[in-house]
Each structure stands twice: as structure tokens, then as C-alpha cells.
Structure 1
């Protein structure tokens, strides 16, 4: 077994790089161990360094005598250090005791209400609110006194025609050439139409003279609607024929006379001297509430 150990040691040192006999290697090893012990031994004797800070002793004055066997005492702090660092002679801090007073048990009864103060300044005006719902309609008031006669409303016209008229391929408007009454110019002579500017109830009448052996076929129109017809059958003698009616008109309504288009021999008579054809109308009652 000793022979095997010696063989292993030789292989180790040969690997490290040392060559020589086994005795030489053993001698070198012993020398190294000796030097290593010289360095390690003082560490165990003196001790490892500690992390505690080293205490620096204050210099001893000439007036203070101290024996070597006396225990060390920490230097007493100065007056300034006591003030700034909160020095306390005890080894621990004593907690500060503050008395606590329950104010609720000292609260008195509720006092009387004071006088009301003066009003403050008015604030800025806010935005207007939304419009409320419409209220119910009130009762009708009493009738007022009659107004100025100059401000009352009227409407009237009366016109005539001296020329005869025969039917054509289309409807024809009966145009008049003579004015008897045209109050405020409500009847347009160029168009042959009466325009309503004062709403209310009107009375109208149409008079014509028929032609011998010819048919008479006409309408009194309100806007584009046929209201009444004036008709006369063919005859060997001519006669006067008339038509009248009352209408309730609204503002801007149009009243005029229309001759029917040519399907039969249709005509109205006149001799360019006398007036055989007339058209009249006037306001009976305006639609103005009192």
C-alpha cells in the first residue's frame, strides 16, 4: 500500500511539473509547510479583525489622574452635543406622556339662534328658460265700439262689353271693354278677372243677349272651378239671359266668365253700339271678426 501511495505522489508532482526523486519532493513539501505555518499562526493568536468601530480615547489632560486598573468610561458629551443630539443620561429614551382631554364631555348646550344677516349682492342673471306650453284659449270679449267709417272695407265692380263673341277651338275668357264701377281697381280689365282683396261673401250677376239660331254656353268660374252655367238653346229669336249667385271668397280668389269651346255653334250677341253684356259683383259681408 505504501508503494502505491508513493507512486501516486510521484505522478502528481510530475503532472505539476516537478521532477526528481521522491525524497527531494518530500523535502520541498516540508519546507513549504514550514513557511505557511509562520504566516497563519499569528492570525489565530491575534484574532480576526471585527466590524466594531475603534474607540478613540480622548486626550488625558494634566488635571485628570487615572489608574491603569480603572475601567474605561465613555467620554461625557459637551453641552452643545447634549442640546443638538438630544442627550439623555439614561441608557434608553423615556416616552413622552401627553394628556388627552375628551372635548365632547365639555361641550355645552346649543345656543339661541342669532339675528338674520343682511342680503348679499345679486348674482349674475341666468340664461332664459324654455318656453312653456300654450295656455287655454280665453273667453270671447265684448264687442267694441264701431270703427271709423273711412276704415271699413268695401268691394264692388260692374263692367260691360259691346262686341259679340263666337266660340273657338279652345275655352275663351270673356273680356270687357266698358267700366261702370271698379272700386279700388279690384277688377282687371285686361284679363277680365275680379281679384278678391277683402275676404267675405260676394254677390255676382251675369247678363248676356243670345244669338238667333245659335247656342249660348258659358260658366262663371272661381279660380279653375266651374261654379254656375248660363245656357240658352238655339232659337229663331234672340233673348236676354242672366245668371246670379253668392260666393264666400278668400283672399286672392279669382272670379271670371268663360265661353265654352267649339263643339256646337256657340255665341253671344252685341252690335258694337249698345251694351248687351254685363258682369257685376259686390261685397255683402267681410270676414272680419268684430
Structure 2
């Protein structure tokens, strides 16, 4: 097919040069259809159209079920320390609490050989509440509770030898109870409780814990 096409073109050129213009070969006879050409390159995208009008809103859907809680997140870092706040106003003074006090410490002014009777200590080292009576020689309980009592005595015998005697006790007292120090027994006149400027005989007692109404005893 291609050889016939070439030959026809050459013949047409020769005839025009030798015998005049007879026309092209295509005018003398119909040509054979040519081979289809290759596809052309795709065209460019067209311009975007204008936005369409906003449609009407649809009906709300049914609310779905609540989902499961998520896992706790990691702890965040500590924030910066804030500035100190403004100090508050000073509060009103409260009432002074009632303090239960009962204590004494007394000594002898002179030696005594009294037996079967309270030893009267007339030298007061401390007796602010006056719960110890320096006339009867007895301590009287005004505040129920637990008390501690102790004594330290210088003892002299007929031989003029001096010795020491001491003791202590914790006792529970109620209002009106009395405590005193006493030498018991007849036939002890050969000794005495001694006291001078260099030797003291002392009797001491004080409240450890008051027992208030509604509170149990120790």
C-alpha cells in the first residue's frame, strides 16, 4: 500500500512536467484511507465551577450510646509555686484555760520526837494553793485525782548518829481526803526527826492528773 502511494506521487509529477497539468493523483482515483493517527495528549483541567448554594439542613440523627470511659492519662508535671497569700487578720484572744494545780513542799524548822500524831512542817518552800495546813500538818485534797507524795527525813538517835529515811507513793484521792506524815509506835522516844541549818527534813506532794467528771481513772 505504501509503494503504490509513492509511485502515484512520482507519476503525477512527471505528467505535469511532460504533458501539462492533469491534476493530482488523488483527482484521478480515490486514495486508500490512511492509518489512524495516535491519540492526542489529554486536555487541561477546566476551571472550577462556582460553589453551589447551601442545602437545607437534614433532620438530627438519634443520639448514640455513651462510650466506655477512656484510660486515665499520665500525671502532669507540677506547676510553678504560687505567690504567698495575703496574711489573714488576727483572731480574737481566746479564754485562758483553767489549769488544775495542787502542790506543796514543806520542811521542819526544828527537830521533833512526836509519835502517833502528824508531823507538823512549818517551813514552806511552796504552798501557793494552801492545800497543806501548817497548823494540823495535813494535806487536804480539793481536786480529785492522782497525787504523788514523797518525804526525805534526817533521823537522829540517842547515840547522836544521823541517818536518812525517805519514801514515796502515788495515791488516788477524792475531795476531802487528807494525807500526812506520822511516826507510829510507843517506845520510839529514843529517836527523833532532825532538822537544823545544815539538815532538812522535807515533805512534798503534788497533783499528777485531775479526775474530772465523766473521765475514767487511771
TM-score (norm 1): 0.38
Which structure dedicates a bigger proportion of its chain to helix?
A: 1
Q: Which has the larger radius of gyration?
A: 1
Q: Give the structure-2-normalised TM-score.
A: 0.50
